[in-house]
Chains A and B, each alone.
Chain A
């Protein structure tokens, strides 16, 4: 590989280097992309990659066929995902044993291996090429599309795709105000949750007068069930970095900071590596592109606190204090990190910036009138195709779940979809046609949030979901506001009573009354939205609450105190598997005879239900 030691001093240097790299990339464009993101790694993609490398070496193909260990390719459910480029033949669930066959057949002879292709569960149809798969067809992968072409450890890959042109343009051809205007014009709204106009936020910080300013990239991603920020940082770190540099230039900050949650150690390693590469090339540091603009980036690591994702708490955490939110005003643009004007942007928001500056036209054609561009959702839960999906804003939730997600897993029926994380709400079937738009989602009692989209089927109890989020928030609230700390405690206390069969009819009104007050009387966004899961489940699934309270039944069969396990006399064959597996030794019965569950000893873990192959265990 030619060394890149020489520093890039001007925009022209950059373009020259890009061209060389581009040529190199197109002259040997045959390569194998193995997804190396957490999802696929957990399925074993790392060893798959190693076997590929060894095998190529052995067969003497290493020179002609490249390898990329990429960021998330989207369809994490079917990992490890392997894509043969340039044709983009999509293989899923690839195991070490399959590697040699892939190289022999597909790579050398262009033959397809049907067994490894993606198959649609409903139609049974198989697809050969990535872009044919319905999962990818409705997506618009402005931010994630390049993951396939980029090894996150290689700045060359990024440069070959025209990387850092946006920075060059911003720093050498535009004034800060022009950049801010362009971002405003693009109608980019913050992807961290609140959906505040990114341009307006930058303008406010630009206007602030100070000797020093800061720009912070918020990679705290606390929403449990969302992982797009991690994937962006791990799959395409330079795109985020570019956004940060351009943002710094626009607001007048010469120091940038990336605040990453400690639960993402791989992301930290990748960003550090990316920073190092950018520094070596002079894309960070002093006098970038000869524009006279200096910019440094440092990394700050969290320590496990959801509330530290709130901007003022995040700053407290960087300054080394407990990450508690504070009263705003004073706003961050007046008084942020170390008391200086500061702007905080989400990872995904920043990754949008280079796209806007490079492909503004295309960008503005995507999305809705009020919010342009795409949004990445982590489509998870009881849906067939789980993974990361990037869609134009404004597409309906139904399209995401049914067309992209392939519907509900295991042929069960849809019950609700939860968006917006712990601050969001659960939407029922009849609201599935709601577009993914900040205002529309708010209007139906949910939120865009950071982009978690959790699909629930009829086996999910909505009271339990509300309880789940309250428990989460009870631990994660900083606890300073009495109304947040005690309000959540009391909401949970009531819901706990309900799921234990101790609910009273008055509880529903009390839950509503208390929820409104908690929303109203707390300091930060966590408290102000903490009652949303309760309010939205009450709004759309009040019947289910009533079933728990009045009939003492959990219709979904989740709440332990309200369900009972028994054995169907007709179906039991007396095989004894359940008896052997029951951890409480609650099942009795001789071999070949009907077994019985002792309700006193049964801990309702459901293991018997899972193990019985004759469907003889009943839950009611």
Chain B
């Protein structure tokens, strides 16, 4: 048994040292950056090139939640479900976003426009509940504001992309559109 373990350990090390400083996680990050997800054929090529068993790639790609095996939408929506956001009502906010977009966290709308991602803490807990749309932070969200927020995104009212300042909370609440 001891032998087996040592054998396995040394094999693991060889595998890893072979792929030297660029660890598999880093390589997958690079692929995802290029393709916006991890396409199967690219993973196959990587496996061949680096001499890594295919299932190992799949194992790592599915273990970490930031890797995606399907293409992501044009607009990325993050809703924080961290503890601070949760106690200030993020669950209802997330449900409302899901309802408006018709997708669950982790999914992308059929037209490829929006992806919704539930994340655990964005590190700005003082502004809970937090929703981030295309890297713009929207603080102190409530379900009632979601309609207005997405009308805004649709009509891209938040035009001045330069300013990360969120105006949505001052937008008059009262979405006329019902989806």
Q: Do chains A and B touch in the complex (CB under 8 A)?
A: yes
Given A42-B166, A77-B126, A303-B28, does the pair A605, B66 have CB atoms closer than 8 Å? Answer: no
Given A43-B139, A225-B121, A607-B144, does the pair A320, B164 have CB atoms closer than 8 Å? Answer: no
A-B contact pairs, 19 of them (CB 8 A): A39-B124, A227-B121, A227-B125, A230-B123, A300-B25, A301-B25, A301-B29, A318-B23, A323-B63, A339-B9, A387-B126, A452-B83, A472-B120, A581-B173, A581-B174, A605-B96, A606-B92, A606-B143, A610-B144
Q: Are A610 and B143 in contact (CB under 8 A)?
A: yes
A334 to chain B minimum Cβ distance, whole angstroms, is: 13
B13-21, B69-77, B108-116, B151-159 - interface stretch: B13-21
A-chain residues with CB within 8 Å of residue B123 when the two chains form the complex: 38, 221, 227, 230-231, 263-264
CB-contact partner of A454 in B19, B21, B87, B95, under 8 A: B87
Q: Dominant SS at the A interface?
A: mixed
A324 CA to B16 CA, complexed, in Å? 16
In order of increasing CB-CB distance, the 3 nearest A-B pairs are A44-B165, A224-B82, A320-B23
**A302 adjacent to chain B (CB < 8 Å):** yes
A486 CA to B86 CA, complexed, in Å? 24
Docked complex: A292-321 residues within 8 A CB-CB of B? 298, 300-306, 317-321
Give the nearest-CB partner of A577 in chain B: B174
Given A42-B130, A42-B164, A338-B13, does the pair A301, B92 have CB atoms closer than 8 Å? Answer: no
B164 to chain A minimum Cβ distance, whole angstroms, is: 6
CB-contact partner of B83 in A225, A263, A611, under 8 A: A225
Q: Are B84 and A303 in contact (CB under 8 A)?
A: no
B-chain residues with CB within 8 Å of residue A230 when the two chains form the complex: 123
A460 CA to B91 CA, complexed, in Å? 12
B172 to chain A minimum Cβ distance, whole angstroms, is: 12
A-chain residues with CB within 8 Å of residue B81 when the two chains form the complex: 224
Given A47-B164, A47-B165, A382-B87, does the pair A303, B64 have CB atoms closer than 8 Å? Answer: yes
Q: Are A224 and B163 in contact (CB under 8 A)?
A: no
Docked complex: B72-109 residues within 8 A CB-CB of A? 81-84, 86-88, 92, 95-96, 99-100
Docked complex: B118-140 residues within 8 A CB-CB of A? 119-128, 130, 137, 139
A101 CA to B89 CA, complexed, in Å? 37
A603 CA to B19 CA, complexed, in Å? 52
A152 to chain B minimum Cβ distance, whole angstroms, is: 15
CB-contact partner of A605 in B27, B63, B143, under 8 A: B143
B48 to chain A minimum Cβ distance, whole angstroms, is: 17
Q: Are B121 and A224 in contact (CB under 8 A)?
A: yes
B140 to chain A minimum Cβ distance, whole angstroms, is: 10
A-chain residues with CB within 8 Å of residue B16 when the two chains form the complex: 319-321, 338
A-chain residues with CB within 8 Å of residue B165 when the two chains form the complex: 43-44, 46-47
B-chain residues with CB within 8 Å of residue A482 when the two chains form the complex: none
A-chain residues with CB within 8 Å of residue B124 when the two chains form the complex: 38-39, 42, 76, 227
A87 CA to B50 CA, complexed, in Å? 59
Other A-B contacts than A304-B64, A339-B13, 18 sampled, CB-CB below 8 A, are: A38-B123, A39-B126, A79-B126, A221-B123, A227-B125, A301-B26, A318-B25, A319-B12, A320-B19, A322-B60, A338-B16, A382-B88, A460-B87, A475-B65, A476-B120, A581-B147, A606-B143, A610-B144
B-chain residues with CB within 8 Å of residue A387 when the two chains form the complex: 126
Q: Are B126 and A380 in contact (CB under 8 A)?
A: yes
A170 to chain B minimum Cβ distance, whole angstroms, is: 28
A77 CA to B137 CA, complexed, in Å? 14
Q: Are B143 and A468 in contact (CB under 8 A)?
A: no
B-chain residues with CB within 8 Å of residue A303 when the two chains form the complex: 25, 28-29, 64-67
B-chain residues with CB within 8 Å of residue A475 when the two chains form the complex: 65
**B49 adjacent to chain A (CB < 8 Å):** no
A-chain residues with CB within 8 Å of residue B120 when the two chains form the complex: 222, 224, 306, 472, 476
Docked complex: A562-598 residues within 8 A CB-CB of B? 580-581, 583, 585
B56 to chain A minimum Cβ distance, whole angstroms, is: 8
**B59 adjacent to chain A (CB < 8 Å):** yes
Q: Are B163 and A44 in contact (CB under 8 A)?
A: yes
The total of chain A residues at the interface (CB under 8 A) is 70
A444 to chain B minimum Cβ distance, whole angstroms, is: 19
A421 CA to B95 CA, complexed, in Å? 24
**Chain B positions 1 through 36: 1 when the CB is less than 8 Å from some CB of chain A, otherwise 0:** 000000001001100110101011111110000000
Most buried by B among A386, A418, A475, A607: A607
CB-contact partner of A583 in B60, B65, B99, B174, under 8 A: B99
**Chain A positions 55 through 80: 1 when the CB is less than 8 Å from some CB of chain B, otherwise 0:** 00000000000000000000011010
A-chain residues with CB within 8 Å of residue B88 when the two chains form the complex: 381-382
**A17 adjacent to chain B (CB < 8 Å):** no
CB-contact partner of A380 in B12, B92, B125, under 8 A: B125
A454 CA to B88 CA, complexed, in Å? 10
Give the nearest-CB partner of B119 in chain A: A263
**A161 adjacent to chain B (CB < 8 Å):** no
A-chain residues with CB within 8 Å of residue B67 when the two chains form the complex: 303-304
Docked complex: A210-258 residues within 8 A CB-CB of B? 221-227, 230-231
A-chain residues with CB within 8 Å of residue B126 when the two chains form the complex: 39, 76-77, 79, 380, 386-387
Q: Are A321 and B144 in contact (CB under 8 A)?
A: no
Given A320-B60, A610-B144, does the pair A454, B174 have CB atoms closer than 8 Å? Answer: no
A206 CA to B124 CA, complexed, in Å? 38
**A277 adjacent to chain B (CB < 8 Å):** no
A479 to chain B minimum Cβ distance, whole angstroms, is: 9
CB-contact partner of A302 in B19, B25, B174, under 8 A: B25
A76 CA to B178 CA, complexed, in Å? 35
A223 to chain B minimum Cβ distance, whole angstroms, is: 8
A146 to chain B minimum Cβ distance, whole angstroms, is: 20
Q: Are A42 and B139 in contact (CB under 8 A)?
A: yes
A418 CA to B87 CA, complexed, in Å? 11
Docked complex: A339-392 residues within 8 A CB-CB of B? 339, 378, 380-382, 386-387
Q: Are A41 and B13 in contact (CB under 8 A)?
A: no
A300 CA to B28 CA, complexed, in Å? 13
B-chain residues with CB within 8 Å of residue A298 when the two chains form the complex: 21
Give the nearest-CB partner of B130 in chain A: A42
Docked complex: A23-39 residues within 8 A CB-CB of B? 38-39
B80 to chain A minimum Cβ distance, whole angstroms, is: 8
A-chain residues with CB within 8 Å of residue B125 when the two chains form the complex: 225-227, 378, 380, 386
A304 CA to B63 CA, complexed, in Å? 9
Given A44-B165, A465-B87, A605-B92, does the pair A323, B121 have CB atoms closer than 8 Å? Answer: no
